[in-house]
Chains A and B, each alone.
Chain A
């Protein structure tokens, strides 16, 4: 066990090299609908219980099923209305369970990235080989059903191992070379993309995927009122837009159809989308496109600046 996973160095938010987005946009804005499948009766993981009641755990299972049966169409219609292509954080077994949803997203040219196979299969306790096999299965499933070379990863139910990021990047390289496995949504340390250190040395980037703007974190964990959630989204955007005039920022809204697409929560979400997309200088995009653009234009500059800042800090520390 490590006191710091070492995925990134300290990199102060001020005086970074200026980050610019296509067409001079200030904010790269993306929406990441989590489309998930929770099993009614998964094998019990000794490190984390899937459900609070003995099977059948009707309350938890059925509201998540609501997300797919009812909520998906609502959110998709709303994102269409505001010209947002979703970047799907996908429980990839959904390709087999509910292929209709996958087809609807494909027709709209949405991105699919891996969120594991089921959101009831936690990484905790997996050997590196088991995790590699699970990740590989998930990426192959996306490719087989959509032809997309999976670029991003969000660990199932945010359950990680020390190896998760390395394994994802390595499997991506095995399957797709540099076209797959090059960004993660699992880290919450920044409002701009940052380079990530991997044992393979692969060029790999963390794309901001906000935990605070995540509807499930807001509604279930923080118990935020729907209209206040809408207000939080607008205020989050306002500040990132303001700062984006100096150097580009990223705003992500991670959503779940069993939360944001309930009838009493749609209005708050719609108002925020209307507000955000109503601004000029906003790049409405996907996770993959942000990562690709960053890797192409800023990754090396960022690496050099991080190295320089930490080297001079070390030098100053040595002089004292």
Chain B
């Protein structure tokens, strides 16, 4: 095409074209080729992660805007206050629903949110649920090319704040927007993190290499996330519930043939905590927890069993 610049010779060179992945973060391995995991409590683990987020009104949006962030000219009170609704109102509906069905979640919390909502943090601390770090705030992305010192400071500030707010040693990490830099995994491992949930390339945990030891990559599906289905895809709430029910049936059947599986649901109080949506979360939890073979557990509990596979199901 005459109006296009010709491509350089590097476009026909393929230096990574060899067996396995085109990077060294983890080994290529199909899920079916892996040693099966047998959960102690059943066949299919329901892992619900509740993401508690702070979206700054003065969003910088660099190098990319956060999913769910401000989209209107400053001051975008519409999105700012609706996200805040999740932390004021929606979360309490969600906690009630989780308790009603005996679900043991993890809470992924932005460090800055912990400073802003001591009441909520106190309550989570009293409940004793597992807390994972969700970065500083939703407008503090970890990204390729980010200065390492800047990122290390973000991570330590986040972890220090959350450890103090929760009274527990934080072992898990979920990057804002599930995006990270080339240094993030190494920095996380260096700061004592044991697992992170950014990669959606598997349905079971696997080892992820870093410059300072291995991390567990924990599967937290994006495709089944409330935000992805309802806000990104504009599917109905009914379809949200159907998709999770279909996933539950499928994974349970697969677990019976191939070994333990995880149904991982990432949910947001600013989405599902709305009065017209909470009923669909309840419908989902009722359906899933009623299936024989399904049990609920937070991520850390599941990983303990992966580290020491139990050969005889209890």
> What B residues does A68 contact at CB under 8 A?
30
CB distance A40 to B22 under 8 Å? yes
In the docked arrangement, what's the CA distance between A117 and B16, Å? 12
Interface residues in A38-66 by Cβ distance below 8 A to B read 39-41, 43, 45-47, 52-59, 61-66
Q: Is A69 an interface residue (CB 8 A)?
A: yes
CB distance B10 to A264 under 8 Å? no
CB distance A63 to B250 under 8 Å? no
Q: Is A118 an interface residue (CB 8 A)?
A: yes
CB distance A69 to B30 under 8 Å? yes
Q: Which of B1, B12, B179 contacts A58 (CB 8 A)?
A: B179
Enumerate 30 A-B pairs (CB-CB under 8 Å) in ascending A order. Answer: A47-B4, A53-B144, A54-B143, A54-B145, A55-B182, A58-B179, A63-B200, A63-B223, A65-B201, A66-B201, A69-B28, A70-B30, A73-B30, A93-B14, A96-B18, A117-B14, A125-B6, A127-B7, A225-B236, A226-B239, A226-B242, A226-B243, A227-B246, A262-B221, A262-B223, A263-B203, A263-B224, A264-B243, A266-B246, A267-B250
CB distance A63 to B201 under 8 Å? yes
> What B residues does A74 contact at CB under 8 A?
254
CB distance A264 to B6 under 8 Å? no
Q: Which of B145, B203, B246 contacts A226 (CB 8 A)?
A: B246
Interface residues as binary, A251-262 with B (CB distance below 8 Å gives 1, 0 otherwise): 000000000001
> What A residues does B20 contact at CB under 8 A?
97
A66, A68, A96, A133 pick with most chain B CB within 10 angstroms: A66
- Which chain B residue shows the least CB distance to A98? B28
Interface residues in B206-226 by Cβ distance below 8 A to A read 221-224
> What A residues does B1 contact at CB under 8 A?
1, 124-125, 161-162
Q: Is A130 an interface residue (CB 8 A)?
A: yes
> What A residues does B198 contact at CB under 8 A?
58, 62
Q: Is B180 an interface residue (CB 8 A)?
A: yes
CB distance A96 to B7 under 8 Å? no
Kindly provide the distance from the CB of B8 to the nearest chain A CB, expressed in whole angstroms: 8
- Which chain A residue shows the least CB distance to B144? A54
> What B residues does A73 contact at CB under 8 A?
30-32
> What B residues does A63 contact at CB under 8 A?
200-201, 222-223
> What A residues does B181 contact at CB under 8 A?
56
> What B residues does A288 contact at CB under 8 A?
none
In the docked arrangement, what's the CA distance between A101 and B19, Å? 12
Kindly provide the distance from the CB of A1 to the nearest chain B CB, expressed in whole angstroms: 7
CB distance A59 to B246 under 8 Å? no
In the docked arrangement, what's the CA distance between A43 and B16, Å? 12
